[in-house]
Structure formats: C-alpha cells, structure tokens
Amino acid sequence: MSFFPKLGILGGGQLGKMLIQAANPLAIPIHILDPNPNCPASMWTSNLTVGDFRDYDAVYQFGQTVDVLTIEIEQVNIEALLQLQKEGKTVHPNPAKVQIIQDKGLQKDFFKKHQIATSDYQVFPNKKAVLAAIEANELQLPFVQKLRQFGYDGRGVQVIRTEADLDDLFEEPSLVEDLVDIDKELSVVVTKGKSGEIVCFDAVEMEFNPKANLVEFLFAPANISTAIATKAQELAIEVSKAFDIQGLLAVELFLTKGGEVLVNEVAPRPHNSGHHSIEACYTSQYQQHLRSILDLPLGNTALKMPAVMVNVLGEPNHTGKAKYNGLTECLEMKGVYVHLYGKEITKPFRKMGHITILDPDLEMAKKKARKVLELLKVVS
Ligand code: ADP
C-alpha cells in the first residue's frame, strides 16, 4: 500500500521512464499506458497497460484504473481525458489547455489573446492558401512554416527562404511565422503548484544540430545577462499564469539579435531542456512535476553545479538493433552521467539517450561534452 494515490501516465517513452525514476524515492505508484510493450518505461514498472494513448477507449479504460492522470506526450486523446475529468478524476495538466497546445495555430492564438510576446503569424488550411497569400502580397518570404499538428522534434518545421522552396510547402493545415533573427534559443521550465505558487528553473540555452533539427548541446545556466535571464523567467511566469495548469510547463523562447525575448512554443510536461536537472539541480523537473500534480510542496530548483546536456542520437546511416560504441570511455570520464533509454532499435537521429556533464567550470563541461559526442556513437 502506498501513501500516495495511483498515478497514471499516458506515454511510456523516456520522459515516462524518468518520471518513474523520480517517483521511486517517494514510493509513488505509477501506471503507464503505451502502445509499445517494450517502451523505455516498461523496464521500470510492472504496471504497464499496452494500449494507444490516442485512442478514446484505451485512455478512458486506463483512467478508470488510477486516481490521478498525467501525460508525458501532448498527442493524447483529449476527449477521454475531458470525460474522466467530468466524472471527477484528477487530470493534470488540464486537458482543455493541452488541446490548445496540441495545435500550434491555437497556441499562437492563445499567446496573442493573452498579449504574450511572440513572432507574428498567420494560419492556413493548405498549401494552395499559402501560395495565394504570397500571390496577393499578404505574405512575404522568408518565413517559417509549421504543421499545426503532429509535428515532433523539428519534423514538421521548415524555413521557406526562396521561390524554389515553395515546392516543399506542407500541404496540411499550417502556421506560418516570421523568420526570427535568433541570437540564442532559451528555455525556462516553470511549475505552478496547487495553491498557485509559481517556481521557475534557471533559463537554459539550447544549441541545435541543424541537420537533425534537434537540441545538440544544452547549457545550464544560459550564457546571458542577468537582465535577460530575469526577462525570460518573467515571460515564463506570465505564460504559466495565462495557461493556469498544474504541473510543468516548458516555455521555449527566442532571444533575438535585437535583444527581445519571444515565446516560441510551450510543452505541458517534462521537457528535453530539463534533463540536466536530474543531476544538476536540487530538485529534478521530473520530481517537480510529480510534486505539483500530487499537491505536494514544490522543490528547490537551484542549480548545484553548471551543466551541459547532450542528446545521444542514432547515427545517420544506421537503422536496426542498437549498439553503443565508446560507452566505456564515456563512463570512465569524471562528472559524466550517461542515461540510455533502452530503445531496442536505433534510427537516424532517434533520441536514444542523453548525457549530463557537471563541472564547476562550464567551459570545461563543454569540452567534455564535445569529447563525449566524438566518442559515443549509436550504431546498428
Ligand atoms: P518543434 O515543435 O518541432 O520543436 P519548434 O517550433 O520548436 O518545433 O521549431 C523547431 C526549431 O525551428 C526551433 O528550435 C528554431 O530553431 C527553429 N524555428 C522555429 N520557429 C522559428 C521562427 N519563427 N524563426 C526562426 N527559427 C524558428
């Protein structure tokens, strides 16, 4: 018997796995719903229900078996969560807000309605409408086109710079944004507790791998002035107040070359930009999420030590059973914390794990991070 209610998580990917790891010290009982019986969380729980979190019946039935529900992926069946909520089940984050976040167009409308600083945008039902807007001079190149739904990790986002790029326009409903002149990409993970208190992690800085369009390096803290760091946190708090959801909200931001801070998008769950918090902060983002949704006091988010996080991605030309070349050498390095997600199959640029490097000197941590990336190769 646990002291805590039974917590059901929709999704058993790496975020689900790390939520279970954070739940263990408090003996919080976790149940997972995921379509893949060998998902990363499966090794960590005997309470795995195999089923699709996008399917109404699967979510509704799973919801009946737990006391509190949360998510580790946005693309879940909202109708089932709304029904469970109506029947008195505790669901965090609020599914009505997740529904807005699921759709990049609705998310932008939400920012606009709440006067949250973000780039200018228009939404279009299809490619033809985008072309018509260009023809009518209502839209100018260059711009960024994003699928309104079902994009993931940079897939579903493209920069359209020239007339020749117009051939590649997405056919599906899309959001078209001004191309921001980005100086740095930042993220602030913010949490609202039950009684309304709002606690932020420090702003972190993300460097992207342009080929994979995935975060390659994350630096904590971000190399920005105190004024920008404060501005980033203030903006994240504003966003958190507007959404008013219990649980984590990761707020992705752009620092423009002109010194403006703009909101790019949000994720209502643990986020890639908070992985380092497991070793680098007094409270990890995972434990913070659990504390928030279970009405417990929020933890101290201060950094214990500067950190660099690198994602471990599948090598470009390898698909098949995963092998980790260079793992021993990485494990020999001091201050290097390796997380492998246990995914059986590697694919080009698939997120197979991450590594956090702690060092009192962030520059030294960066050096080690580069070494780690040189050493560790996920191949088939
Ligand atoms: P995803 O949901 O796939 O993470 P994002 O909206 O975060 O998509 O976009 C992925 C990346 O594309 C961003 O991290 C950034 O590098 C680039 N990007 C997105 N929007 C813009 C923009 N308006 N201007 C310039 N670059 C952008």
Long-range Cβ pairs for the range 59-65 (8 Å, 24+)? 59/10, 59/33, 59/84, 60/84, 62/8, 62/10, 62/31, 62/33, 63/8, 63/89, 63/91, 65/6, 65/8, 65/31
Angstrom distance (rounded) from CA 107 to CA 112? 9
Q: How remote is the CA of residue 94 from the centroid of ligand 1, in Å?
A: 25
CB 17 within 8 A of CB 10: no
For the chain, give the percent of residues with pLDDT over 90.
94
Pocket probe for ligand 1: among 264, 269, 349, the residue whose CB has the most ligand atoms within 8 Å is 264
Angstrom distance (rounded) from CA 187 to CA 180? 16
Residue 167's SS3 state is helix
pLDDT tier, 194 (very low <50, low <70, confident <90, very high otherwise): confident
Whether the per-residue pLDDT at 154 is higher than 60: the answer is no
Q: Which residue carries 């529900």 as its tokens? A: 69
| pLDDT value of position 150 | 82
Cβ neighbours of 167 (radius 10 Å): 8
Question: How many Å separate Cα 74 from the centre of its chain?
Answer: 9
| pLDDT value of position 1 | 59
Residue 42's SS3 state is helix
pLDDT tier, 210 (very low <50, low <70, confident <90, very high otherwise): confident
Angstrom distance (rounded) from CA 149 to CA 156? 8
Maximum distance among all alpha carbons in the chain?
66
User: Which residue lies with its CA nearest to atom 3 of ligand 1?
Assistant: 154
Cβ neighbours of 66 (radius 10 Å): 22
Residue whose C-alpha is closest to residue 42's, from 341, 347, 368, 365: 341
Q: What is the pLDDT of residues 342-355, one digit of tens each?
A: 999 999 999 999 99
Domains of the chain by range and CATH?
Answer: 7-91 (3.40.50.20), 120-178 (3.30.1490.20), 182-379 (3.30.470.20)
Cα-based angle 104, 290, 63 (whole degrees, multiple of 5): 75
Whether the per-residue pLDDT at 153 is higher than 70: the answer is no
Q: Which atom of ligand 1 is nearest to the CA of 179?
A: 24
User: Which residue lies with its CA nearest to atom 1 of ligand 1?
Assistant: 154
pLDDT tier, 208 (very low <50, low <70, confident <90, very high otherwise): confident
CB 184 within 8 A of CB 255: yes
Q: What is the pLDDT of residues 247-303, one digit of tens each?
A: 999 999 999 999 999 999 999 999 999 999 999 999 999 999 999 999 999 999 999
The sheet that has 90-91: what strands, in order across it?
A: 48-50, 30-34, 7-10, 68-71, 90-91
Cβ neighbours of 372 (radius 10 Å): 20
Mean pLDDT score, 232-241: 98
Whether the per-residue pLDDT at 110 is higher than 80: the answer is yes
- Those residues with Cβ within 8 angstroms of residue 203's Cβ, 6 or more apart along the chain or in another chain: 186, 187, 188, 221, 222, 224, 228, 229, 232, 233, 253
Q: Give the torsion through C-alpha atoms of 267, 269, 272, 275, to 10 deg.
A: 150
Q: How remote is the CA of residue 185 from the centroid of ligand 1, in Å?
A: 9
| pLDDT value of position 364 | 96
Q: How remote is the CA of residue 121 from the centroid of ligand 1, in Å?
A: 13
Its sign, for the CA torsion 173, 96, 273, 183, is positive
Whether the per-residue pLDDT at 368 is higher than 60: the answer is yes
Q: Give the torsion through C-alpha atoms of 237, 242, 245, 250, to 10 deg.
A: -50
Q: How remote is the CA of residue 158 from the centroid of ligand 1, in Å?
A: 8
User: Which residue lies with its CA nearest to atom 13 of ligand 1?
Assistant: 154
DSSP string, 97-158: HHHHHHSHHHHHHHHHHTT-----EEEESSHHHHHHHHHTTSS-SSEEEEESSS-BTTBTEE
Binding-site residues, ligand 1, Cβ < 6 A: 119, 144, 146, 151, 153-154, 156-157, 177-180, 182, 185, 208, 213, 252, 264-265
Pocket probe for ligand 1: among 157, 182, 261, 262, the residue whose CB has the most ligand atoms within 8 Å is 157
For the chain, give the percent of residues with pLDDT over 70.
98
